[in-house]
Structure 1
Amino acid sequence: MSVSDRRRMIVGISGASGVIYGIRTLEVLQQLGYETHLVMTKSAQITMAHETNIKVAALVKIASVVHRIDDIGASISSGSFKTMGMIVAPCSIRTLSEIATGVTSTLLTRAADVVLKERRRLVLLTRETPLHLGHLRSMTQLAEMGAVVMPPVPAFYAKLETIDDMVNHTVGRALDLFDIDCKLIKRWGEPDHDDSRDDAGTRQGVITPISARS
């Protein structure tokens, strides 16, 4: 894999609650200089309108390449297009179930299926609770196929004080799975980070949230 391939990531955003996880992932990867390929469901756009003040037009500007959800002929649908892998943040149960069965209906789930068949890293920030047996069986099937099912559960040992802290920590842990250290994580046993915050109460760090950009 070339240097550029090692710095190329697919980011999927589905319609589950928690769209900020996908947004923050894109922000971090952009500011670290990674090439990102975004694919977003129509449901995700609706969720984003409900959960954030961020417009789709602003979001797509922070991705290197944006793919239509129905563009099955896109580069990321081919195994010959090398990437580090894919993160789906958040991952709805419908999206998870399509990937688990291999019966894919969109570019997002097709791209995830390709990542699995090429033995690349697939991380799914699955958002649902409580879980019934069907959900759990799908998660087990994905784990057996090589995917990482990572519900975005906050780490209370980090003494996170704001929602922004929680999102940063979760995204940082997800990117750890790709050996990307974005300096957002308070790790076990390490001294506290500098707790300097801006006027809005946001911890100063490696990223500038899209909502704070001019």
Structure 2
Amino acid sequence: MDLRHWPLYGLRLRTPRLELRLPGPGLLDELASVAAHGVHDPDRMPFSVAWTDGKPDEVARAVFQHVLGTVAGWSVRDWTLSLAVLHEGEVVGRQDLMGRDFAVRRQVETGSWLGLAHQGQGLGTEMRAAALHLAFAGLGARYAVSAAMTDNLRSLGVSRRLGYVDDGLDTDVVRGAPVMLRRLRLDRARWEAHRSVDVSVEGLDACREQFGV
């Protein structure tokens, strides 16, 4: 692939078990299929946006369109890096890193999901650690924030292992009902203190300007 006009396709994050990269059409189709096979118990909704509601082909199409939309809608002032996560060459989930006015605020937000078959193996911690390394070590972030429903113990557990601290509560509406969210915040010092995953980054220099740095 010629990367002259969109060098983000050449960005690679690697951990001991994972590779994260912006998916082209073929990899994106695999990612959509993982989502179609389920990412959570259908009886509960762990996401603030209920994007997994619908038939499998509808969920797959929503993932495909979302990732393409992040590329089409990218700007230096408001960007979402939506990375496919690969384990042993197989797509297992998605890790997002988001920045709004990042050049000024130096703050990022994360979001992610794993296919049901790949949960419970510590991959969620490893993939978010990769995104945080890109943010802090690669882009010079000062803060990372996240949020999860108060009963989403897996997501909250990942945040705690990586050093996040509580940052208050918020209320959202999901499936027409109110839900309570726990906000979390990670500063650079706590990220440094809790680093436990080796991460390497390839291809960042070619796309720094697109992040506003």
Asked if Structure 1 and Structure 2 have the same fold, meaning a TM-score greater than 0.5 normalized by the shorter chain, the answer is: no
Name the structure with the higher helix share. Answer: 1
TM-score by length of 1: 0.29
